[in-house]
Structure 1
């Protein structure tokens, strides 16, 4: 199914290619840079998002964590196992459902989340260097719209 916005002209191939290539390259390079920044902390990409989500939202069931992170439950299970083994999170049976696990940060995890926040600020500053402040302010909304557009097309 092809979706077009009737309020503007369709995108020609050259523009489409430029947009798609730019997004693809940004994604690859941003992920690689994030991996390089996280490695000294003993983290792999994805684990920082889990730590930051728990820091932001507090303890939650793994299924909720999976939804919040937008990733599959087996990925969250693997990340939680590794972070638990390193002492950064704790898992315990949910009080209402013994099959579910509640995940929460340990003191070590809270300290690590604080370090991740600093790295995230540095990565964001590197990423938007040279852009006007107004563009930087608009960027989260623009990227959220792009993500929503892609998500809506998959349904």
Structure 2
């Protein structure tokens, strides 16, 4: 791939990410939520109660970020934390009735945001989009152990394209 094509791809992804987050922020603000908190609520709705460390892994967030989010959501009454019976150092996180009601509103906003985002795309493209985006995410996942090109600035190893 030449620089112009690489630049176009990288700029498009960067701009989409920035603008999607800004739009999500605007939609979530009236609910008293900040970006990331909706993902935590939706994950608990999908899976049920879970240990905070598992929640961190499921969200792809660092544990301190999840701790901060859970503290704020607990203070607002949307989740509750309790010690895990098997390990008193671990916390189990679960939705409260208030949190369950909020999840329903978040789901409505999430549908609206997705519809705004894909407006104008053919239905076939929309159906393929999650798979494409997941592949892109996997390709740049920093947690992946075998990096194709190593550190930025290293030249490609012979034979790789």
The two structures have a TM-score, normalised by structure 1, of: 0.92
Residue by residue, what CA displacement relative to the aligned partner does 1:100-140 show, whole Å, maximum 9, x if unpaired? 00000000000000100000000000000000000000000
1:28 maps onto 2:18 in alignment: yes
2:74 to 70, 84, 96: 84
The root-mean-square deviation of aligned C-alpha atoms, in Å, is: 1.0
1:89-108 matches, within 5 Å, as: 89-108=79-98
| Alpha-carbon offset, residue 79 of structure 1 | 0.1
Mapped pair 1:122 → 2:122: no
User: CA deviation digits over 1:37-71, x for unaligned, max 9?
Assistant: 00000000000000000000000000000000000
Does 1:59 pair with 2:49? yes
TM-fit CA distance, 1:151: 1.2
Judging by fraction of residues, say which structure has more helix.
Answer: 1
In the other structure, the counterpart of 2:136 is: 146
Residue of structure 1 equivalent to 2:125: 135
Unaligned runs of 5+ in 1: 1-10
How many residues align structurally? Answer: 145
Q: Distance in 2 between matches of 1:76 and 1:28?
A: 21
- Please give the secondary structure, in 1, of the residue aligned with 2:88: coil
SS at structure 2 position matched to 1:90: strand
Distance 2:142 2:126 in 1: 25
| Structure 1 segments of 4+ aligned residues over 2 angstroms from their partners | 152-155
